[in-house]
Structure 1
Amino acid sequence: MKKSSQTNFRAYTTLIPVMAGVFFAADDQTVVVTILPQIMSDLRVEVSELHRAAWTVTGYLLGYVAVMPIMGRLSDILGRRTVYTIAMAVFIIGSTGTALTGSFEWLYETPVSRFSSIAPIILAIPEITSTIEWVVSTRILQAVGAGALVPVSIAMVSDLFKANQRGVPLGIAGAAAEAGAVIGPLWGGVVTRFLDWQWVFWLNLPAAAAVLLGIYLMFPKTVRIQVPIDYLGSVFIALGLCLLTMGFSESDNPGKWMYLYLGTGTAMFAAYVVRALSISNPIVPIALFRNIAFAAANLVHILYGAGLIITMVTIPLMANTILQGSPLDGGLMLGRLTVVIPAGAVVGGFICKNYDLRIPSILGLILCSISLFIMSGWNQTITDPWMTIPLVTAGFGFGLLIAPITLAAVNSTNEAMKGAASGIISTSRFIGMTFGIAALAAWGAGRFQDLLAGIELPLASTGDTAQQIAGKSAQFQSDITNAGVNLFSDFYFAGAVVCLIAVLPCIPMKVQRPNS
């Protein structure tokens, strides 16, 4: 076997625990979708208090996104294995905390009189750990660890493979993340079919331990960059991302809180820019954006995230309303798109290995745009195969983009900045998704009101016969359905336009080598 072949085999073998970590991080992001009803039932959270339970998802997203741009650069400074280990340890602690929910009821039966000085503390433990707020807090802790794993894993791929060999492993990394997100809800459903929902998180522990063992045994030590850590800048970025995300989440109900979050978040980023320009080693180097290919890759990723989230939100909404399907039907309909994304990611990586990375990028965006244009023509009578074909082609198109976008960002930077580049490019997708869902909520509400404006209520008039009343009701129902069809058509069309616009920044995405 040739030496280069042996080296590649060893690198791909080392990739296994790295990708396993990415898979579990993504899996944990979506697993709560299917177990949330059981969590609410166990913790006595009423349906009318769904906004409290929803923070198990929202809080995870905040923690996940907030650390991404920071941890990538920290892995440059502290070393990949060190940061990966810290991140996995935080993930384990958070998983353990969630798994322990409701496990301390036995303390109520403890004779606390013997510990009178600490009796209030002992009795507070079961009370605190049996609330939805406890689950939200421990989920955020999990998210901080999981969010750190993504950029560090991308940087690890860059360490294991030369610049011209990174396409396929980056595609595999993207496929692992997407596969984890797809399998998460199914995994949650399978586990809770036989065990309590807490076991979803207990099972994270042996998996995480195996991943850590694999990293220590297989991944080599990396050279650390000897620069001070910008702690204040890290705080500015983490707070800024959290506040902006919270602000955009309020876009469907504009008010003082939305403006406060957005204003404060913007101020955090402004403060960071001032700081970054005044020190020599900021946590997120602004100098990276002077590279046209790097800046273009991030812009494409933002638009990609917006187009993806618009599509992923609209599909189940249409299934549950216009098509009158169940939540399961909506999930299965969306699954036809998401299950193909990992395959597209791997294929995109192979294309990057031999061709200009702009080829799979532009091809994927055009494929997504055409598919969404077709979907914008759907109505309540849509059936297979005309439903499945555009869903599959859209999913494949979104997958094709994963490897080339990441490759353009990482390969456009020097060796000392690979972690920072990985963190920024990972974050840009989630920024796009935040913008996309906020725009969808704000614009969609107003658009639906406009579509309803000309629809008359089916009020009976004096002298109307039963047949005339039934006719008015049928016409009203038809008008409402048509309004919904037009709304979802607009959503798909908007997603198609976003994907088409993203083709423009793809053009300068050709890798440009840094000067230093």
Structure 2
Amino acid sequence: MGRRCRIFSRSSTLKNQIYNVIKPYLLLLPFCLGVFLGADDQTKVVTILPQIMIDFEIPITSLDTASWLIVIYLIGYTAVMPFTGRLSDKFGFRNLFIISLIIFLIGSVLTALSPEISKIFHREPNVNWILATRFIQSIGGGALVPISIAAAGFLVPRNKLPIAYGLIGASAEAGAVFGPLVGGALTEFLSWEWAFWINLPPTILIIIAVIIWIPKSTFRDLKIDYLGSIIFFLFIATLSLACAQITKSNELLIIFAVISFATLIGGIFLYKASKEFIIPKQIIKNKLFMLANLTHFFIGITLIIAIITVPVMAETILGASPLEAGLRLLRLTIALSIGAFLGGVLTQRLGARIPLILGFVLIAIGFYFMFGWDLKLADPSMTIHLAISGLGFGLCISPITDTAMKEIKDSDRGSASALLTVSRMLGMTIGLSSLTAWGTTRFAKFTSGLEGFSLDPIAQKKMTDASLNAGLDVFQEFFLIGLLVTLVAVPLSLAITLKKNKGDR
């Protein structure tokens, strides 16, 4: 009898030990799911864009206008982060996370209803309505990442934070890459509106889970820099708009560039003149943290090139359906998730240097292979190339976050994680708007000598082939840009891992 009691006692102790190990990650699960949803809607529009263009009567020649369905989300998603990050420092991550999910839910409903709303106020479809609802959606979605990173600092033991950062990062990147797959599948079997209706059940369940299981947050006596928040928003928005006009050299480019520069100067002046800034000054003075942000910026540029170019290339010149395009990108997603977990484990055991440098090397190799893609692209080459890139992106997540956040005080974690996420999102926003403008101009140049239509089948086939080859040239240039940007970021990865900080072993 005594032996049975001892065995039962040991078994109970083992179960308690296992539960104590996984409990912090279980508490982090609702945050990861929220981050996944917010990131999923960044790119969900990629595969449903053709159907939206049809419903809102956007001609194919106005692809740059249609691309703002993605860009407007990235602008709102990015610009709101520092403000909500500081709000979470003041009012607590739990409260802000719930409010952000509610805003995201409202935006999703309005986006799904945007065709009907547009018809109420206009005789003809008006794309401005769906742009406005996407912006509302982005405000809620953009707050979820920095709040979740801040929450990890309170819910997970400090020595386990690299794995927690890896899980949050994997959720964000997986959501961004699963977006085209979800959008493509729902559009193919239902309609594009369901890509937004589907957000409702999981969002409501996450809100309930947070209310039930996450402990209430404490309030802190911190001041919020509202003027700085407005200036930062204007800077992000006008900089992105200027990048979208960069190949047109028109008056809009000048206007947006001037406003962007003016807000930058205004922000610098406000930073020097005020005691409180939208981002705590001690964070901005941390050189290691700022180097990590610059590295994250380049990660954002390369990531948006991969997750946008792959499905768009599949649909436009390789003849894939929206669902097939999403499935092709799934190869990168799976590898990215695996890489994010491995990156967290390697960072915890070996430090940031090895996984970060290895990650950049794999990203560069992946882009080099994708630069060589042609119209005869097939498996297993495509899967191998996408898996290499995805593994590289995943490996970089945890070492960058862990290096940046090591010296950050608990009271500043929301602001610091917001700025770190903004860096990547700013890279994605600028990268997307610039590439869209660049690609439109380059494709027009490559096809400028082609006739619009011919009754001669042979001549028509020649024009079709020329258009496909022109599209291939543009996409190859995108991958080459991704490779060059990755190579530029390699020295930065060396710099942030060679610098020593207080948290180093």
TM range (shorter): 0.7 to 0.9
Equivalents in 2 of 1:57, 1:445: separation in Å?
16
Q: Determine the structure 2 residue equivalent to 1:513.
A: 502
2:490 counterpart residue number: 503
Deviation of residue 165 (structure 1)?
Answer: 1.0
Helix, strand or coil for the counterpart of 2:495?
coil
Give me the whole-angstrom Cα distance separating, in 2, the residues matched to 1:441 and 1:78: 39
Deviations 1:72-129 (A, max 9, x none): 1221112111211221221122223234446689xxxxxxxxxxxxxxxxxx966599
User: Residues 72-471 of structure 1: matches in 2 within 5 Å?
Assistant: 72-101=85-114, 131-192=126-187, 195=190, 197-316=192-311, 319=314, 330-437=325-432, 440=435
Question: Does the 8 Å CA contact 2:181/2:326 hold for their aligned counterparts?
Answer: no
The question of 1:21 aligning with 2:16 is answered: no
Q: Which residue of 1 aligns with 2:73?
A: 60
Mapped to 2, the partners of 1:208 and 1:84 lie a distance apart of: 11
1:260 CA displacement? 1.2
Cα deviations across residues 273-299 of structure 1 (Å, max 9, x unaligned)? Answer: 211222222111343232232112111
CA deviation vs aligned residue, 1:310-337 (integer Å, no higher than 9, x gap): 3344445655677566666654444432
Q: What secondary structure sits across from 1:171 in the alignment?
A: helix
Tell me which of 1, 7, 11 is aligned to 2:24: 11
State the Cα RMSD in Å.
3.6
Q: Report the Cα distance in structure 2 between the residues aligned to 1:12 and 1:65, rounded to whole angstroms.
A: 26
Given that 1:352 and 1:404 are in contact with CA atoms closer than 8 Å, whether structure 2 keeps it comes out as yes
Shift of 1:172: 1.2
Match of 1:466 in 2: none
Distance in 2 (alpha carbons) for counterparts of 1:130 and 1:440: 27
| Deviation, structure 1 residue 233 | 0.6
Larger Rg: 1
Task: Give the counterpart letter for 1:279 in structure 2.
Answer: S
Aligned residues: 483
Q: Which residue of 2 aligns with 1:117?
A: none
Are residues 449 and 269 of structure 1, via their aligned partners in 2, closer, same or farther at CA, if it must alter by over 3 Å? same
Task: Identify the residue that residue 481 of structure 2 maps to in structure 1.
Answer: 494
Aligned equivalents of 1:190 and 1:490: distance in 2? 29
- Structure 2 counterpart of 1:33, from 18, 33, 46: 46
1:67: Cα distance to partner?
0.4
C-alpha deviations, 1:413-442, integer Å up to 9, x for none? 122211111101101112222343455456
Q: Offset at 1:384?
A: 3.2
1:15-72 CA-to-partner distances (Å, cap 9, x unmatched) read 1211111111122223333444444555555656665554432322221111012211
Instruction: Report if the CA contact (8 A) 1:251-1:441 is conserved.
Output: no
Structure 1 residues not aligned, in runs of 5+: 106-123, 459-469
Deviation readout 1:178-210 (Å, 9 max, x if unpaired): 222233333334445565544443443332222
Shift of 1:220: 2.1
Cα pair distance change 1:71/1:344, threshold 3 Å: same
Aligned partner of residue 404 in structure 1, secondary structure: helix
Of 270-279 and 124-133, deviating more is 124-133
Q: Name the CA shift for 1:228/1:317 in 2 (closer, same or farther; >3 Å).
A: closer
Aligned to 1:461: none
CA contact (8 A) 1:80 1:156 kept: yes
